[in-house]
Amino acid sequence: MAIIVNKEEKRRHIALACRELLLEYGINSLTISHIAQTAGVGKGTIYEYFENKEDIVFEIITTFIADHEKKLLERVAGSDSARQKLFHFLNMLFEEGDAHKHLKVYKEFLAISLMGESKEMLAFSLQCRQRFMAILDTVLHEAKTLGQIISPEALCANSFAVFATGLVVDSRLEGFHVQHEINLFLNSIMTMNEKQSIKKESK
Amino acid sequence: MAIIVNKEEKRRHIALACRELLLEYGINSLTISHIAQTAGVGKGTIYEYFENKEDIVFEIITTFIADHEKKLLERVAGSDSARQKLFHFLNMLFEEGDAHKHLKVYKEFLAISLMGESKEMLAFSLQCRQRFMAILDTVLHEAKTLGQIISPEALCANSFAVFATGLVVDSRLEGFHVQHEINLFLNSIMTMNEKQSIKKESK
Amino acid sequence: MAIIVNKEEKRRHIALACRELLLEYGINSLTISHIAQTAGVGKGTIYEYFENKEDIVFEIITTFIADHEKKLLERVAGSDSARQKLFHFLNMLFEEGDAHKHLKVYKEFLAISLMGESKEMLAFSLQCRQRFMAILDTVLHEAKTLGQIISPEALCANSFAVFATGLVVDSRLEGFHVQHEINLFLNSIMTMNEKQSIKKESK
Amino acid sequence: MAIIVNKEEKRRHIALACRELLLEYGINSLTISHIAQTAGVGKGTIYEYFENKEDIVFEIITTFIADHEKKLLERVAGSDSARQKLFHFLNMLFEEGDAHKHLKVYKEFLAISLMGESKEMLAFSLQCRQRFMAILDTVLHEAKTLGQIISPEALCANSFAVFATGLVVDSRLEGFHVQHEINLFLNSIMTMNEKQSIKKESK
DNA sequence: TATGAATGAGTATTCATTCAT
DNA sequence: CATGAATGAATACTCATTCAT
């Protein structure tokens, strides 16, 4: 194992060691004891590098978000139509595979955040949201430039983000079919633009 | 013969007595002892009328929902344009006044529901959602009949509900301006219909 | 249904109605509410005919004991050797079939009785014990008369009863083979008599 | 580096501190809070060293059993005849002095164990039983070697243990004279051996 | 005589965080 | 730098029994 040179690096080291742990146990059932054990350090040591439990959970989640972001950018780059890009944006959390584990953690995170007992939690939420809003903005502006949509205002990134949040929350309900809802929403919002983008695609 | 009480009525009586309590303390900090005291009965009596804490919380929230529903229907009835009706639908939770207390409880409820540890909580969520979806459906179909919107499919009630959920959740964030977001969303989604409905309104 | 003429008869009526209930739920999980429902009377009515929960449990158990006693006397009458009679005495609680339900209740009864919080429970225990001791005494004296055993003192009924109690309690343990232990005990205690009784049997 | 405590030692320390407490209150009325106070530690600390309440009760009882075992071995060593050794085995729980407190706890333990709601409790019961069976086996084999009894099979240790259990349970009954019963039982079972052992003793 | 509505005491357990070493 | 021992607050739920009608 490489010698840890600075605090920031050790933070990442510990966080990376506990990714699987968080996915398996979820936020609430994750204990500092278990984290310390898994990271191979003492409980006290955790508090040398993190303020509190929230802090370390944030750090772990940050690594997931980085992954998610990277994967999303790949999908976006690999998509031609704006519709497809936006579909990936909404659908990525609900894909087959390990995504449900991440979704579970995300829901738990939202839950804690909704309890509204922590300033830091809210700040972190905001920061995450903004990173994805940036991607969304880029997608919409490019679509505008390419003429795939008429005006970005008509498909405001904020509305999209709100809808995405709603999807995550409502997906907890029995009988809620995420993909179906995503398609309906995209249909509603892109009706007019779709024809144009299809024209372009069919060239 | 002994007294026969109307169980359903007493349930409501106890629930009504604890409305303020729930608004003040929130779901988690609400204790059965406190409920019993406030309702003026013994702790055991609570369990004669409710299965468990969840059950009584549901009953209290149900009274709030009934109020909310009634108020919403009034506003809808008092509105001419579909846009205004939909605005009320989305905005009512965020109005000035006591609404923020209800919103707080609603967020807490979503949080617990997102933790996903209770089947009953999910069933109750679904049931609540369906009541409001019914109103939304009516509004959209009437709007269609009145020619205020072109097709109800283009403004699917489900998408609306998802957006509404997202609004509640995202409203927790610093710098999130609910009214602004609602207007942007309505703008996006009604752009094409708006002109027509304005035409009709201006007649 | 026949009209109930007196207290004692109604007591028996209620008790008989709840035999299955007791076998199914056991003493602790048996609630007065459930008893009242099953007997088709109100909770308060139970307390018109019984002092308390103990009292009704005693009444139900008494019916079981009467059955057990009757069955035991049949088996004893149908057995030739003293050994066989004594075997029935010890083994009847552990037979195949529904006996295990009765055994479960008996263990529970012993448990409550051992907690030692009730005078009445102890008095009832004593009374039950004495009924079975009487049978045992008869068996031993007859055996003496028939020359199957040398002296009843050598096989004192009390010791037998104590051993029987021990069997019930120790039968809760993993790996305890009741039938085996019964046979070992009877072997130990009848070694000397056995030969004589075998002689008599072989005649 | 932080202090490393010997967990096993601290377990014993806490258990020893609570011996009197258990004797005074019994198992059911013993609370963790009270244990923690008496041991001079926080409630949480108890759970650092014990799985749950059962676990600590077992540990305390284990100290009693160790005492009992030691005392029994002394008495056995100090006795000449097999009869006397076996008498101590049966009688020690019923001696004058503090024994009745231990007996009370033992009865309570049997009661809980008979309720049969805990696997661990049964396992612990079995383990305790086996320790005493081992002593019994030794006594019987030695007696055989010394010619005090004819065959150990005729006085199987298991039967003895069952009788001992029965004694503890039946001793709860009014009018049950433990010493008398013990003597009767020993008389029954040792009649034939007694003469021989008396012969040897009288040499 | 019958009923059933009302009652209320009592307790194990978890885990983030601190700080003495 | 690292550690891990110690801490303690906080709460739902059951059911035998009573007594007003």
Complete DSSP assignment for C104-117? HHHHHHHHHHHHT-
In single-letter form, the type of residue at position C4 comes to I
Q: Do D169 and C165 touch (CB under 8 A)?
A: yes
pLDDT single digits (tens) C48-73: 999 999 999 999 999 999 999 999 99
Asked whether B148 and B200 are in contact (CB, 8 A), the reply is yes
Q: Is residue A196's pLDDT more than 80?
A: no
pLDDT at D42: 94
Q: Do C188 and D162 touch (CB under 8 A)?
A: no
Asked whether C166 and D165 are in contact (CB, 8 A), the reply is yes
Question: To the nearest whole percent, how much of chain B has pLDDT over 70?
Answer: 90
Interface test with A, best of B91, B126, B159 (most A CBs within 10 A): B159
Q: How far apart are CA B71 and CA B77, in angstroms?
A: 10
pLDDT at A201: 46
All residues of chain C having their beta carbon less than 8 Å from the beta carbon of residue D156 are: 184-185, 188
Q: Is residue C5's pLDDT more than 90?
A: no
Give me the half-sphere count of Cα atoms (radius 13 Å) on the Cβ side of residue B143: 31
Exposed e or buried b per residue across B112-146, where buried means at least 16 C-beta atoms within 10 angstroms of its C-beta? bbbbeeeeebbebbbebbeebeebbeebbeebbee
| Protein-nucleic contacts, chain D 21-80 to strand E, CB < 7 Å | 29-33, 43-44, 47, 52-53
Cβ of B32 near strand F (distance < 7 A) = yes
Cβ of D43 near strand F (distance < 7 A) = yes
Do D and C touch, counting CB pairs below 8 Å (3 needed)? yes
Q: What mean pLDDT, rounded, does chain B reach?
A: 88
pLDDT single digits (tens) B31-90: 999 999 999 999 999 999 999 999 999 999 999 999 999 999 999 999 988 889 999 999
* Secondary structure of residue C177 in the 3-state scheme: coil
Asked whether B139 and B89 are in contact (CB, 8 A), the reply is yes
DSSP H/E element including C61: helix C53-77
Q: How far apart are CA A167 and CA D132, in angstroms?
A: 65
Instruction: Report the CATH superfamily, name and number, of domain C53-202.
Output: Tetracycline Repressor, domain 2 (1.10.357.10)
Kindly state the DSSP code that residue B155 receives in the 8-state scheme. Answer: G
Cβ of A42 near strand E (distance < 7 A) = no
Q: Is residue C187's pLDDT more than 50?
A: yes
CA distance B133 to chain A (A): 13
pLDDT single digits (tens) A135-185: 998 998 888 888 777 665 656 888 999 999 999 999 999 999 999 999 988
Q: How far apart are CA D152 and CA D174, in angstroms?
A: 34
Asked whether C159 and D185 are in contact (CB, 8 A), the reply is yes
Inter-CA distances, D169 with A6, B90, C166, D24, D71, Å: 68, 71, 8, 20, 22
Q: Where are the domains of chain A?
A: 53-202
Q: Do C112 and D112 touch (CB under 8 A)?
A: no
All residues of chain A having their beta carbon less than 8 Å from the beta carbon of residue B163 are: 159, 162-163, 166
Q: Measured in angstroms, what separates residue A111's CA from nucleotide E12's C1'?
A: 27
Asked whether D133 and D161 are in contact (CB, 8 A), the reply is yes
- CA–chain centroid gap for D149, Å, is 25
Nearest nucleotide by C1' from D1 CA?
F3
Nearest chain A alpha carbon to B151? A188
Q: Is residue C199's pLDDT more than 60?
A: no
Length of chain D: 203
Nearest chain D alpha carbon to C181? D159
Nearest chain A alpha carbon to B154? A188
All residues of chain B having their beta carbon less than 8 Å from the beta carbon of residue A159 are: 163, 181, 184-185, 188
Q: How far apart are CA C133 and CA C163, in angstroms?
A: 12
Q: Do B159 and A108 touch (CB under 8 A)?
A: no
pLDDT at B3: 77
Asked whether B173 and A174 are in contact (CB, 8 A), the reply is no
Q: Measured in angstroms, what separates residue D41's CA from nucleotide E20's C1'?
A: 17
Kindly state the DSSP code that residue C3 receives in the 8-state scheme. Answer: P
Q: Do B191 and A156 touch (CB under 8 A)?
A: no
Phi and psi at A42, nearest 5°, equal -85, 160
Predicted model pTM: 0.88
Give chain E positions with protein CB within 7 A. 1-21
Cβ of A147 near strand F (distance < 7 A) = no
Q: Do C173 and D115 touch (CB under 8 A)?
A: no
Q: How far apart are CA D186 and CA D166, in angstroms?
A: 14
Higher pLDDT, A2 or B117: B117
Cβ of D5 near strand E (distance < 7 A) = no
| Protein-nucleic contacts, chain D 61-80 to strand F, CB < 7 Å | none
Two tokens, residue B173: 């964030």
Q: How far apart are CA B50 and CA B59, in angstroms?
A: 9
All residues of chain D having their beta carbon less than 8 Å from the beta carbon of residue C167 are: 162, 166
Cβ of A94 near strand F (distance < 7 A) = no
* Secondary structure of residue C51 in the 3-state scheme: coil
Q: Which residue is nearest to nucleotide E21 (CA to C1')?
A: D2
CB atoms within 10 A of CB C136: 24
Find all residues with CB under 8 Å of A72, minimum gap 6, and list them.
Answer: A88, A89, A92, A132, A135
Q: Measured in angstroms, what separates residue C52's CA from nucleotide F17's C1'?
A: 8
Two tokens, residue C39: 């007997």
Neighbours of chain D (3+ CB pairs under 8 A): C
* Secondary structure of residue B98 in the 3-state scheme: coil
Higher pLDDT, C169 or C4: C169
Two tokens, residue B114: 């997102």
pLDDT single digits (tens) D122-175: 999 999 999 999 999 999 888 888 877 766 565 688 899 999 999 999 999 999
